[in-house]
Structure 1
């Protein structure tokens, strides 16, 4: 693989999704083509962009949506990446084997090859987000034999791909960083209970943005976080559904916003990434140099007694 360029343009896509997979993927393809027409070299899609967010309820029939890798969705993303000459980060409800399903991010390189995949490691189980019913936690990274928090090598550099709930864990971001990630990427599906009051909604959104900007700062890395948008009904009718809050963003290695979307519209965000800037920032904010690795052993314990 040839040396990655010093700079490239990343696009993060915030889109509405449909119950029909072909309709959702057609929207994705239209937005990816527009992003590339506007100069993108790397395009990042949101979590589970091919379907509605089905984890609002526990329903065994939903497993029919799952696909193998390679499969129809990855083949479509592969062809798109190859045609447009881009690195493309997508999302698949993966059927790994009978009874083992994953929430999986896939990375297609510029030649359409599968550069790697990341199976979501942290799986939530909260009202409206019943992901443990559907997803097995990830383990090894495709084609590497490494643990789950390992960057994926592409023609644009090493991508630290994580997924949604992973974004709340500083350990995941740090392990990706220590393994050489040059960019942290968080495809996301997060939103509000529509019955929450505005103050609570504001606190949740601010927390989501702040924790990821914190990962950027603590690791001196850019962060790309595309989120879905729009109200998706609860299939069971037991609740009023989820209003996905959008607010996709790209920030730099000091947490500075490079691009940010609103909470309602379909959006393509663009930002220029300078791979050398992290090196420059680390020279004046040397967090990695000053880590006390001799004093952190208790981090691998569930509780410090």
Structure 2
């Protein structure tokens, strides 16, 4: 039988440019998760700074990334809990021609070691592309962790089935998605049709992804005060059941679920998605070239 993992998903409202207080809030929630016996705690994207690149001190704050990564590594070791600390913004080669601002997700194991690192690939329009450097054509990595083969995606990556296929083709059975997804990401035309369209988008995709890839999904999003456009809806999903736990759109808090990975194995036996993808005569070829005719 496959193992069962107790996993905590943490939804928080990151106050803009408040590194210390945001870290303190996150650490408090991780301690609470460890006290409940969680093997893994997952935080949202941009949980340390929010997303405020227009702030004159933003770049300077991003240069402190190593300090907070080290803090999370020490916390994981002290509490003996695995941590995905949302994403951490890393400024490299500041004020040089090779300057890069990276949006990075880490898997830190319970010994404090870094088991995996992923740089966000699919950036959200000019809002992110004007500031961040994508991992572009780098492969989506999969990592061996105490919870098995794990893939990391970040926010808008969720929308691209190719990313998921790349992960499960490498054996990922748990996919973790730190996110900063708001209701305001929808256009005015979309909001006129459905003011909570992005919530529908998230709920639909998260359930679909766990079915179509026979994997478990941990989705940690930011929440915040009502009326500010936060989408929330952090959840843990598995095939057959969909969300095992699901937080609301505004609330900060934590939800903990026992994730029975045998469900993933049973779903694969049923749907045989992975086995089809592994066939040498499989009929879909996901090569994308500039010369391709759409």
Common fold, TM-score beyond 0.5? yes
How far 1:116 sits from its partner (Å)?
1.8
**2:6 counterpart residue number:** 9
RMSD of aligned alpha carbons: 2.5
SS of the residue 2:230 aligns to:
strand
**1:219 counterpart residue number:** 213
Aligned pair 1:179/2:177, yes or no?
Answer: no
**1:285 counterpart residue number:** 271
How far 1:74 sits from its partner (Å)?
0.4
Question: Which of 159, 180, 187 lines up with 1:189 in the alignment?
Answer: 180
**1:237 counterpart residue number:** none
**1:152 counterpart residue number:** 143
How far 1:258 sits from its partner (Å)?
0.3
Give me the whole-angstrom Cα distance separating, in 2, the residues matched to 1:94 and 1:242.
Answer: 27
CA gap of 1:298–1:154, structure 2 versus 1, over 3 A, is: closer
How far 1:299 sits from its partner (Å)?
4.4
CA gap of 1:134–1:278, structure 2 versus 1, over 3 A, is: same
Give me the whole-angstrom Cα distance separating, in 1, the residues matched to 2:228 and 2:120.
Answer: 21
How far 1:139 sits from its partner (Å)?
5.7
SS of the residue 1:229 aligns to:
coil
Give me the whole-angstrom Cα distance separating, in 2, the residues matched to 1:137 and 1:242.
Answer: 28
**1:143 counterpart residue number:** none
TM-score (normalised: structure 1):
0.84
Contact 1:223-1:253 within 8 A present in 2 as well: no
**1:257 counterpart residue number:** 243
**1:238 counterpart residue number:** none
Aligned pair 1:83/2:94, yes or no?
Answer: no
Question: Which of 52, 56, 69 lines up with 1:74 in the alignment?
Answer: 69
Deviates more, 1:218-227 or 1:186-195: 186-195
Question: Which of 198, 208, 218 lines up with 1:204 in the alignment?
Answer: 198
Q: Deviations over 1:161-211 (max 9, x none)?
A: 110010110110111111111201110001123996575232221012211
How far 1:59 sits from its partner (Å)?
5.5
**1:236 counterpart residue number:** none
**2:153 counterpart residue number:** 162
How far 1:17 sits from its partner (Å)?
1.2
How far 1:255 sits from its partner (Å)?
5.7
SS of the residue 2:179 aligns to:
coil
**1:134 counterpart residue number:** 131
Paired residues for 1:226-241 under 5 Å:
226-231=220-225
Q: Deviations over 1:37-69 (max 9, x none)?
A: 1221101110011112225xx466422121366
SS of the residue 1:186 aligns to:
strand
Give me the whole-angstrom Cα distance separating, in 1, the residues matched to 2:245 and 2:27.
Answer: 21
How far 1:125 sits from its partner (Å)?
1.4
**1:62 counterpart residue number:** 58
SS of the residue 1:214 aligns to:
helix
Number of matched residues?
281
**1:105 counterpart residue number:** 105
Shift >4 Å, 4+ stretches: 58-61, 194-199, 291-294
SS of the residue 1:48 aligns to:
coil
Q: Deviations over 1:76-119 (max 9, x none)?
A: 10111001101100121012333111100011111111112110
**1:248 counterpart residue number:** 234
TM-score (normalised: structure 2):
0.87
Give me the whole-angstrom Cα distance separating, in 2, the residues matched to 1:156 and 1:67.
Answer: 31
How far 1:294 sits from its partner (Å)?
4.5
